[in-house]
Amino acid sequence: MKTLTTLASIILLALSTQLAAQSAERQLQELMDDYWAYRLLENPTLATRAGIAAYNHLLPQVSSVDQARRLTSEEEFQERLDAIDRDGLNRDDQVNYDLLGWVLARSIDGMRLNTSRIPFNTFSSFFAGALRASFGVPMNTEEDYRAYISRIEEFPRYFNENINNMRQGMREGFVLPKIIIDGILPTVQAQVYDNPDDSSLAEPILDINERLPESLRTQLLNDTRTAIRNYAIPSFRQLATFLEEEYYPAATEGIAASDLANGEEYYAHQIRVYTTRTDLSADEIHQIGLSEVARIREEMDALIESAGFAGGFAEFTEFLRTDPRFYAQTAEELLQAASFVAKKIDYRMPEFFGRLPRMPYGVVAVPAEIAPNYTTASYNFGVSGGTRGGAYWVNTYALDQRPLYELPALTAHEAVPGHHQQNAIAQEMENLPAFRTQLGFSAFGEGWGLYSEKLAIEMDIYANEYEHFGRLSYEMWRACRLVIDTGIHAKGWSRQQAIDYLSDNTSLSRANVRAEVDRYISWPGQALAYKLGEMKILELRQRAEDELGNRFDIREFHDVILGQGALPLELLERIVNQYLEDKRQ
């Protein structure tokens, strides 16, 4: 009888444990579903990028009332998450639990700091996001075009809400520096067109579906032009006037985030957000940067010597910056050179990756209206189920500042095996919760991009010593970012000091150097992501190679790194450690 009683107790305990696990998993799934629905509702442009058309007529709501509502909602999500028994979850759901917790914590921190008072920088902005919110969206029916027109009609409300947030920042001493407004204002003014057809917003409607009846096409064309003329262009005119007459006089002469109201806490928050690490201070990051700069400089000096160049680092970089052989003569030539490198890498991709994305990508010129103040290149997502693939943007403005020897590293970073590979794989994941397919973490994404530049050595992409030096210069550029970003925002560096440091240690053109430093000034912390992310991925690869020896498979390792979508670095390390544990067993 005692044996039966003991057996019954064991069975009851097992059933209770199983039910508790099922309850925890069900609670987490319901929470993730609710959070994803909330994200789509609060961020219509995210929904568009995810291929969900129900919100294509909207832009985000960002007023103070909306911000308060979101803060309350996310605090409630956090409370629900805390109430779930994490230990009762399986391994995959523990990752989901931790990831959702990380996202909520950083978002809540940002809302409490009210970072929306500065809604743009030299690289990204609410107004550029509005311009491209529907880029690549399939438009086949009248409803598709009506949704697009409605989104354009949202411009005044959306711009006004952002301007009001900026006015709050003006009152509270939380504003951008004057030097940043000097660069951004012309790009805003450039959107004030006399002819609505000149706006990039007209592009979808000028290519209107020929299958629609002619009378309807004419009506939709006219209605779109009216929306651009009456809603979008006046919004840019209002923003330009506000920036020039109100914001600029209130903008700071200083450039450090730490000089702003509550600036030290703000910069610490930015470091956490963009590095996804909580264990590093600005001083520690600065020292890591100095160490990396010294190491890379030794490699650069050795390469200059092996190339047989008669001169030192300064002479070699001046030669690279000024010799016409290194520069395209036309925008088409630059785009063709970038396309050639891209296809060269495409050919080698199956050797290094087991999984390749279905979504293609293209090489596209940076839009002319933003090119003068834009960075060298970038990657832009393709819309899931949309009409365009991913876009590797190449800046064709000021061709004498866009050296060809940098293209292999640039292409590896922005296209493949870099951002396109990483982002397209994440979008196509079928075994992840929906909220994870659209996540992005700078340390993971930009760290992967910089790792990809080094991976291109193994892929035999660099054809000569100049291209190898271009890659080293790019790595040095990212190491310098650790020094400069912390120097500006925590150590009192001047803009000129930052420009001199970047110019003295890289072969970047002078225009790129100025644009980069202004980007760091306007976007505190983001520049730290690249080198710290790359160093972690390299550390994890070395660990895998050491532990697995001849069982190490580069294709399998890369699929593990990218196979969970974007992750904070601490979670990525846990995923790799679990992979190694599974291999050992």
CA distance 33 to 65: 24
What pLDDT digit, counting tens, does each position of 7-22 carry? 556 655 554 555 456 7
* Segment 166-179 mean pLDDT: 98
351: nearest Cα among 467, 460, 464, 472: 460
pLDDT of residue 11: 59
390-394 vs 361-365, strand pairing mode: parallel
pLDDT of residue 431: 83
Helix (H) or strand (E) holding 530: helix 529-548
3-state secondary structure of 309: coil
Query: In this structure, what token pair is assigned to residue 505?
Result: 């240690």
50: nearest Cα among 140, 153, 136: 136
CA distance 153 to 151: 5
Any alpha helices (H) in 324-427, and if so which ranges? 331-352, 407-414, 419-427
Higher pLDDT: 512 or 435? It is 435
**Cα dihedral across residues 434, 437, 438, 440: positive or negative:** positive
* Segment 471-478 mean pLDDT: 95
**Cα dihedral across residues 177, 529, 374, 123: positive or negative:** negative
Strand partners, 365: 394
Give the total residue count for the chain.
Answer: 585
Whether the predicted pLDDT of 446 surpasses 90: yes
Instruction: Check: CB of residue 537 under 8 Å from CB of residue 447.
Output: yes
Whether the predicted pLDDT of 339 surpasses 90: yes
pLDDT category of residue 57 using cuts at 50, 70 and 90:
very high
pLDDT category of residue 369 using cuts at 50, 70 and 90:
confident
CA distance 164 to 33: 32
Residues 6 or more apart from 79 whose CB is under 8 A from it?
none
What pLDDT digit, counting tens, does each position of 187-215 carry? 999 999 999 999 999 999 998 999 999 99
Longest alpha-carbon distance in the chain: 94
For residue 316, how far is the Cα from the chain centroid?
Answer: 32
What pLDDT digit, counting tens, does each position of 66-98 carry? 999 999 999 999 999 999 999 999 999 999 999
Whether the predicted pLDDT of 581 surpasses 80: yes
Instruction: Check: CB of residue 178 under 8 Å from CB of residue 251.
Output: yes
* Segment 321-328 mean pLDDT: 94
**Cα dihedral across residues 477, 415, 543, 527: positive or negative:** positive
140: nearest Cα among 61, 30, 66, 216: 216
Q: Using CB atoms within 10 Å of the CB of residue 493, give its burial: 0 to 12 exposed, 13 to 18 middle, 19+ buried.
A: buried
Higher pLDDT: 321 or 552? It is 552
For residue 355, how far is the Cα from the chain centroid?
Answer: 22
pLDDT of residue 385: 81
390-394 vs 377-380, strand pairing mode: antiparallel
H helix and E strand count, the chain: 25, 3
Q: Is the pTM of this model over 0.85?
A: yes
pLDDT of residue 157: 98
3-state secondary structure of 312: coil
Query: In this structure, what token pair is assigned to residue 225?
Result: 């032009």
Average pLDDT, the chain: 94
* Segment 256-276 mean pLDDT: 96
Q: What are the backbone angles phi and psi of residue 370, rounded to the nearest 5°? A: -115, -5
pLDDT of residue 430: 85
From first CA to last CA, the distance across the chain in angstroms is: 40
pLDDT of residue 14: 53
pLDDT category of residue 387 using cuts at 50, 70 and 90:
confident
CA atoms within a 13 Å half-sphere pointing along the CA-CB vector of 113: 22
pLDDT of residue 368: 87
Whether the predicted pLDDT of 545 surpasses 90: yes
pLDDT category of residue 116 using cuts at 50, 70 and 90:
very high
* Segment 368-396 mean pLDDT: 87
What pLDDT digit, counting tens, does each position of 453-464 carry? 999 999 999 999
CA distances from 58 to 45, 131, 220, 237, 395 (A): 8, 13, 18, 21, 30
pLDDT of residue 8: 55
